[in-house]
Amino acid sequence: MSQSVMTLLKDGQQYMKTWPVKKELYAYFPECRVIAATKFAIKTMPPVAIVSCALLLQNLGVEYLPQTIAIGAFFLSLPMQGLLWLGHRSDQYLPPQLKSWYQDIHSKMRSQGCNVASIKSKPKYKELAHLLKTAFNDLDSVFTKHWFS
């Protein structure tokens, strides 16, 4: 189950694109908050790193170059930490309670005529993400609302 860092980053990006960020899911899954924080960090941390490095070099000089590089690397690593967490999470198996919920949603979507992938015997979080995304995109909000109340 050991994956390379690059694989985790790619899986994290894919999971971030797949997971439906809906208000109904915020109370049940940390993914929504992690995705929001990671998207924010992807936008803001590179400029923060550049500005902080420029200010440190301007005010402290070249003598503090190692510390300046460390601070810049820290700011640049923050979005990667979110992607790594998401990549790791996407490859984890669902706990028993979520597994039964996944199977219940899958059967209800099949009965409604949704085109969903075949059910997995040991589903992972990425399969749950695909199923929830399909549910929120294809089904009426009235149908999905009772799952979270």
**Cα–Cα distance, 49 to 29 (Å, whole number):** 30
- What percentage of the chain has pLDDT greater than the value 70? 92
Domain ranges of the chain: 1-91, 93-149
Is pLDDT of 55 > 80? yes
pLDDT for res 51: 98
pLDDT for res 53: 97
Averaged pLDDT, 4-19: 96
Helices (H), 19-147: 31-60, 65-90, 96-111, 125-138, 141-145
